[in-house]
Structure 1
Amino acid sequence: MEFKDTQAIYLQIADYMCEQMLLDKWKPEDRIPSVRELAVQLEVNPNTVMRTCEYLQQYDIIYNKRGIGYFVAAGASRKIKQLKKEQFMANELPQFFRSIYLLDVELDELKTHYEKFKKSHFK
């Protein structure tokens, strides 16, 4: 995994893990790879993965069965979407609105591009 300098690594790992859940690669009640397995796979320190797991537990996206490992929580997809939507609305949307205002982009034009994007990326 290639990490960006713009966001903490543990949050980028959280994004990766959430994506696995949203794509149904990790389903509710599935055991996820261990902290060590993820650390090796992502080429990071196990402590960084542990911090990610603590972060995701805080939002009830995963839970720990002591001695067994971490599992995807029931309703994780809904919780992920809610969290990501809140983060998007607070952090990215204002800049996006600023850009479309400065560039005089109309909402109808955006809708057309969005529909093309959906067709080409999510068939």
Structure 2
Amino acid sequence: MFDDTRPIFQQLADRLADEILRGVYREEEQVPSTNELAVQLRINPATAGKALTLLVERGVLYKKRGIGMFVAPNAPAIIETERQQAFSARYLVPLLAEARALGLSPSDIIELIENATSESSPQPVKDIAS
């Protein structure tokens, strides 16, 4: 469900964003209300509301007054862009800084990635019967 590493409202916002990316909620489709989320997840309605507000501020959801919250047009693209930027900041920037310190060229880095990818891919299982 939820863990203690981050505030619940952020975890819920991330969960809803994941569901939008997976197609659980499509563009222009209504998402559960603050109260529905609170009851379903057994959390404070203010926490659920904060998660929805966060997604509105990010342009992922929009509010139809008196009706509810809906998935914004291009919401999946917005989420993907945010996640790509976060991935770059968290992984690529430090990787490139370390590569520079080691004197690695871009082609060296690509070769390392390709080698790591081939090493981590599942190996075919040999048929014992043959």
Give yes or no for TM over 0.5.
Answer: yes
Once superposed, what is the RMSD of the aligned Cα atoms? 2.6
Match of 1:107 among 82, 106, 113: 113
Equivalent residue, structure 1, for 2:38: 39
Aligned residues: 111
Q: Distance in 2 between matches of 1:6 and 1:92?
A: 20
Where do 5+ consecutive residues of structure 1 fail to align? Answer: 118-123
The aligned runs of 1:35-114 (5 Å cut-off) are 35-93=34-92, 97=95, 106-112=112-118
**What stretches of structure 2 of length at least 5 have no aligned partner?**
100-111, 123-130
Alpha-carbon shift at residue 112 of structure 1 (Å) = 2.4
Higher gyration radius (CA): 2
Relative to structure 1, the CA distance from residue 6 to residue 91 in structure 2 (aligned partners, 3 Å threshold; closer, same or farther) is farther
Give the percent of matched residue pairs that are identical in Structure 1 and Structure 2.
33
Aligned residue for 2:63, secondary structure, equals: strand
- CA drift of 1:61 comes to 0.3
CA apart distance, 1:4: 2.0
TM-score when normalising by structure 1: 0.77
Residue 62 of structure 2 aligns to a residue whose secondary structure is: strand
Evaluate the alpha carbon distance shift between residue 47 and residue 58 of structure 1 in structure 2; reply closer, same or farther with a 3 A threshold. same
Give 3-state SS (helix, strand or coil) of 1:60's partner.
coil
Q: Does 1:7 align with 2:6?
A: yes
Q: Take 1:109 and 1:43, find their aligned partners in 2: how far apart are those partners?
A: 46
